[in-house]
Amino acid sequence: MSFLWSLIVGGIIGWIAGLIMGRDIPGGIIGNIIAGFVGAWLGGLLLGEWGPEMGGFYLVPALIGAVVLVFIVSLIMGSMRRNRS
């Protein structure tokens, strides 16, 4: 059950990060979950473990890490689209 809870919280974190950045994450729900998990890992590395914890994620560093990840992915995807045309 805790794995399912982690998937839900990771998806919500990725979705909120996409909303903050105003950009969609490629891959839909799966992309949101991946962005939440990778963002939580990145945020944990950069900011440590602080703030409220839910589903195995410290929410503040996870959200900041997911926003950074969405920004980086959107830059990469944007440059790939420009190079094709």
What range defines the domain where residue 31 resides?
2-76
**Is residue 1 scored above 70 in pLDDT?**
no
- Residue 82 falls inside a structural domain: no
- Residue 83 falls inside a structural domain: no
Q: How far apart are CA 46 and CA 24, in angstroms?
A: 24
Mean pLDDT of 53-64: 89
Q: How far apart are CA 33 and CA 8, in angstroms?
A: 8
Residue of 14, 19, 15 lying closest to 41 (CA atoms): 14
Q: How far apart are CA 40 and CA 46, in angstroms?
A: 10
pLDDT at 76: 87
- Residue 24 falls inside a structural domain: yes
pLDDT at 29: 84
pLDDT at 77: 82
pLDDT digits (tens, 9 = 90+) for 9-40: 889 999 999 899 888 787 888 888 888 899 88
Provide the whole-model pTM: 0.84
